[in-house]
Amino acid sequence: MTHRNTLAAVAAAAAFAATVSHAQDFPSQPITINHGSAAGANQDVMLRELAQALEGVAGVPVVVEPRPGGSGQVAMARVQGQAPDGHTIFSDGTGITAILQMEGASYSMDDFRPLYRIQLDPLAIYVDDDSSMGSVDELLEAMRAAPADIRIGGYGTATPFQFMALTLAEAAGVEPNWVPYNSGADAITAVMAGDLEVAISNISAYDRFRENTHVIAVSSDERVEGHDDVATLIEQGYPIERYHWRGMFVHGDTPDDVTESLHQLIDEAVATPRFQDYLKRTSTLSGSMTRDAFQTMLEEQASSDRERMLQLGLIEE
């Protein structure tokens, strides 16, 4: 073996040993979870519940840091600026695969490693209590009769909520009349004020607006516990199953064994009675799956999002 090859072998062995040592010692310091929502938002509340459970299984403090701005890219920048050692996590949701395909995005999916899909929050179709649209059939009939008059609103552009509106419009055979809002709650409030006919948000928000609104359908595969009076889209003859998921990512250079160790710790935290009770209280579901399955899901979702964004003229080929 030449001197150069000997040095290369020694360096490789040292790097491997460091990685193994790192994984064995993980976690060796507090874990920080960064996300792009505001303090008190659904994402923030969920992460704080999970952080409490994670502290118990990881044995280190777990801190949640809201970093709103740039559709999550402010929080992404924070993670990218830290050592890829698993102690800094980025949390986002369904919209990440669209956001990172938009023109001017600062990062790509390759900059992150999928870590854990935590929570599924089914989508829900909200109308005012005085609305004549009491079912999906009646909504689509109204859209066919006067598509410009049926304003559908929800959070953001190129989001799962807008894509759901597009799916409904396709079922009606019309163009969607989408109105973006800063949050799903703002859109539901606009329905109550008469500024929208329909809002698409999460079923988890229903308890806050039940006195003044009616949910005509939920996008889960079966009725949601706590909202047993709300029929699914599937029950009403529309084979549509959609969820707004929330999950976690780490820096793309994080070693595989460290990522797997962190995944296992989060899996234990999600399974705790405390976090399972939180899911039940919020009418949301566990999104747990393997890292490989999460990666496959993200790839499929990114491809579907790209087709939708091209269709809406949000990106170009």
Residue type, 217: A
Place of tokens 């299984």: 57
What is the structure's pLDDT at 23? 59
Strand partners, 90: 34, 249
Domain extents in the chain:
18-120+244-311, 121-218
- One fold for 18-120+244-311 and 121-218: yes
Report residue 252 as tokens.
Answer: 């793309």
Tokens of 268: 């234990």
Please list, in sequence order, all residues whose beta carbon lies within 8 angstroms of the beta carbon of residue 189, skipping any fewer than 6 positions away: 209
- Identify the CATH class of 18-120+244-311: alpha beta
Which residues lie closer than 8 Å to 30 by C-beta, 6 or more apart?
60, 61, 62, 63, 87
Residue from 83, 19, 95, 118 nearest 251 by CA: 83
Task: Evaluate if pTM is beyond 0.75.
Answer: yes
CA distance 285 to 263: 18
- Ordered DSSP codes for 236-294: TT-----EEEEEEEEETTS-HHHHHHHHHHHHHHHTSHHHHHHHHHTT-EE----HHHH
- Going from the first residue of the chain to its last (317 residues), give the mean pLDDT of each consecutive group of 10, the final group possibly shorter: 49 47 79 94 94 97 94 93 97 95 93 97 97 97 96 95 96 96 94 97 94 97 94 97 96 97 98 96 95 97 96 91
Give the span between the Cα atoms of 243 and 28, in whole angstroms.
35
Strands 243-251, 88-93: pairing is antiparallel
Between CA 288 and CA 290 the distance in angstroms is 7
pLDDT at 116: 98
Handedness of CA 54, 60, 61, 67 (dihedral sign): negative
Alpha carbon of residue 9 to chain centroid: 43
Specify the CATH number for 121-218; select among 3.40.190.10, 1.10.260.40, 3.90.226.10, 1.10.10.10.
3.40.190.10
